[in-house]
Amino acid sequence: MSRSTRTGVLSLAALLLSSGSAFAHHAMDYQMPQTFAQGLLSGLGHPIIGLDHLAFVLAIGLIGTLFARGYLLPLAFVAATLAGCALHLAEWNLPVVEPVVSGTVVLGGALLALYRAVDTRVFTGFMAVAGLFHGYAYGESIIGAETTPLAAYLIGFTVIQAAIALAAFGLGKVLLTSQATTAVGSLRVFGGVITAAGVYLLASALVV
């Protein structure tokens, strides 16, 4: 493993660990946002504070490097999170949300660790299901909010997820271009780190 890869792996691990547990998902210290600014801050913070969300968004951005126009796949996931959040706001129930969300992290990390092309339709379906459950989890933090902070929250988590996923996609592309002989191995190592985080999260969700 190259020095740059070791540095990247350690940075990714530190980022994931610093994001907090899967259940510490509230940028407003569990207070309901009351203003546009508070709603926006909460929306921007949730995908970063939540280890499960952050790990998955990073994974799908990197997995996108496997596909032609792969930047569209993370964006499809982000759109699905909006639909999932809308389901929660409409009081539709999805079962076993935390275990499923954690399970998507395991699968996303495993796909990256394998770094093999899969059928685009299959992966898009996976993105849609994962997005619904991640979005449903986002909705928990904003149930009962007024229209203005709610709209700001939706804007916030949409923008930050897209930014993180596209940044990961871009970095993956740069890595593949600049380190052709070691890049795939580096991405597989990143996938292993994300898979390990997902296993920890899934075990925690099942214990709870």
**pLDDT of res. 92:** 93
The C-alpha atoms of residue 179 and residue 164 are separated, in whole angstroms, by 22
121 touches 173 (CB < 8 A): no
What interhelical angle do 72-89 and 120-139 show, nearest 10? 40
Tokens of 178: 């600049």
pLDDT digits (tens, 9 = 90+) for 45-60: 999 988 899 999 999 9
Extract the tokens encoding 147. Answer: 């229209």
Task: Report the Cα 45 to chain-centroid distance in Å.
Answer: 12
pTM of the model: 0.86
How confident is the model at residue 4, as a pLDDT?
52
Mean pLDDT lowest for which of 19-23, 128-132, 138-142?
A: 19-23
Looking at residues 20-39, what average pLDDT do you find? 68
Shortest CA distance to 39 belongs to which of 196, 154, 195? 154
Residue 2: what pLDDT? 54
